C-alpha cells in the first residue's frame, strides 16, 4: 500500500480537485460507512472529521477564503483531506489479504492523517474551537458555568459541547447559551470498556 506521504501522488486524486473541505469530509464519511476492512479505524477517523466539518459549515469556508491569511492553510487542509479520502477508500478497493498484511501500517497511516489534518486546521486563522465533553449529567451541570463564562468572554467563539447519554442531552441542550454547538456522542460497548478508544476520537 502507498504510504501517507505518497498517497497524494496517486492519479485519482485529481478527481477530488476543486472540492472544498466540507465536501471532502462528506466524501470521507460516506466512504467510511461502506468500508469493508479496517471499519473501526475508518469510522473513528470519519467521526473526528464530522466534528471539523460541522465547525467549517458554521464558519462558511467560502467566507474564510476572503481573508488574506486563510487561503494557503485552507488549501493545505484540503490536500490533507484528499489524501485522507484515498486512505479510507483504500479500505474498500484492496483485497482482504493485502490489507491484513498491511494492518499495522494502516493504523499508523490513520493516526498520521488525523494529526496532519488537525495541524493544518490550527493554522487557519479564525478557527478556534473550545470543546467541552461530559460523560454524565453531573459533569455537564458542573461544566455549564464555565461554558457560559467562555461565551460571555469571547462572543462568537465556536464552542462545542458533547455528552454521551440521551438522558443528559434532554437537560443540557436546554441550558446551553445560544450559539453553542451541541452533539450527543453515544459510546459503543467497546468504547465503554476501552477508554483508549474514546481518547483516540478526540
Which tens digit of pLDDT belongs to each residue from 145-197? 999 988 888 776 778 888 888 778 878 888 998 878 787 766 544 444 443 33
The side-by-side arrangement of strands in the sheet containing 130-134 is: 130-134, 159-163, 181-184
The pLDDT value given to residue 99: 56
Instruction: Kindly report the average pLDDT of the chain as a whole number.
Output: 75
Q: What is the DSSP string of 119-173?
A: HHHHHSTT---EEEEESSHHHHHHHHHHHHHHHHHSTT--EEEEES-HHHHHHHT
User: Is 134 found in the same domain as 112?
Assistant: no
Answer yes or no: is pLDDT of 2 > 80. no
Chain centre distance of CA 170: 24
Whole-number Å distance between alpha carbons of 199 and 202: 6
Cβ atoms 18, 119 nearer than 8 A: no
User: Is 109 found in the same domain as 14?
Assistant: yes
Phi and psi, residue 177, nearest 5°:
-65, 155
CA neighbor of 55 nearest in space, from 178, 139, 160, 166 = 160
The pLDDT value given to residue 25: 92
Residue of 61 and 3 predicted with greater confidence? 61
User: Is 155 found in the same domain as 111?
Assistant: no
User: Is 74 found in the same domain as 119?
Assistant: yes
Whole-number Å distance between alpha carbons of 110 and 37: 13
Percentage of the chain modeled with pLDDT above 90: 11
| Predicted model pTM | 0.56
User: Is 150 found in the same domain as 76?
Assistant: no
**For residues 41-50, average pLDDT:** 86
Cβ atoms 161, 134 nearer than 8 A: yes
User: Is 140 found in the same domain as 104?
Assistant: no
The pLDDT value given to residue 156: 67
User: How many domains does the chain divide into?
Assistant: 2
Answer yes or no: is pLDDT of 144 > 90. yes
8: its cell numbers: 497524494
User: Is 141 found in the same domain as 101?
Assistant: no
Indicate the residue among 123, 144, 160 that finishes a domain.
Answer: 123
User: Is 16 found in the same domain as 105?
Assistant: yes
The alpha helices in the chain, defined as continuous H runs, are 4-7, 21-33, 39-59, 61-64, 71-93, 96-101, 103-123, 137-153, 166-172, 189-193, 195-201
Whole-number Å distance between alpha carbons of 175 and 20: 34
Domain that holds residue 186: 130-201
User: Is 66 found in the same domain as 157?
Assistant: no
User: Is 115 found in the same domain as 156?
Assistant: no
The pLDDT value given to residue 119: 79
198-61-169-188 Cα dihedral, nearest 10 degrees: -30
The mean-pLDDT minimum among 20-24, 96-100, 158-162 falls in 96-100
CA neighbor of 45 nearest in space, from 102, 83, 18 = 83
User: Is 178 found in the same domain as 80?
Assistant: no
User: Is 67 found in the same domain as 41?
Assistant: yes
The pLDDT value given to residue 104: 55
Answer yes or no: is pLDDT of 50 > 60. yes
Amino acid at each position: 500500500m502507498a504510504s501517507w506521504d505518497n498517497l497524494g501522488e496517486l492519479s485519482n486524486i485529481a478527481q477530488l480537485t476543486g472540492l472544498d473541505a466540507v465536501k471532502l469530509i462528506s466524501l470521507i464519511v460516506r466512504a467510511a460507512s461502506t468500508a469493508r476492512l479496517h471499519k473501526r479505524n475508518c469510522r473513528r477517523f470519519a467521526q473526528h472529521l464530522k466534528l471539523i466539518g460541522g465547525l467549517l459549515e458554521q464558519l462558511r469556508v467560502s467566507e474564510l477564503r476572503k481573508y488574506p491569511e486563510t487561503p494557503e492553510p485552507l488549501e493545505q487542509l484540503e490536500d490533507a483531506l484528499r489524501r485522507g479520502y484515498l486512505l479510507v477508500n483504500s479500505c474498500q478497493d484492496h483485497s482482504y489479504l493485502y490489507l491484513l498484511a498491511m494492518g499495522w501500517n494502516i493504523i499508523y497511516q490513520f493516526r498520521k492523517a488525523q494529526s496532519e489534518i488537525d495541524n493544518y486546521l490550527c493554522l487557519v486563522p479564525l478557527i478556534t474551537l473550545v470543546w467541552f465533553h461530559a460523560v454524565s449529567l453531573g459533569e455537564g451541570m458542573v461544566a455549564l458555568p464555565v461554558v457560559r463564562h467562555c461565551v460571555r468572554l469571547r462572543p462568537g467563539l465556536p464552542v462545542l459541547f458533547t455528552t454521551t447519554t440521551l438522558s443528559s442531552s434532554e437537560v443540557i441542550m436546554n441550558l446551553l447559551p445560544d450559539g453553542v454547538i451541541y452533539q450527543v456522542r453515544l459510546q459503543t460497548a467497546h468504547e465503554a470498556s476501552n477508554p483508549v478508544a474514546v481518547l483516540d476520537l478526540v
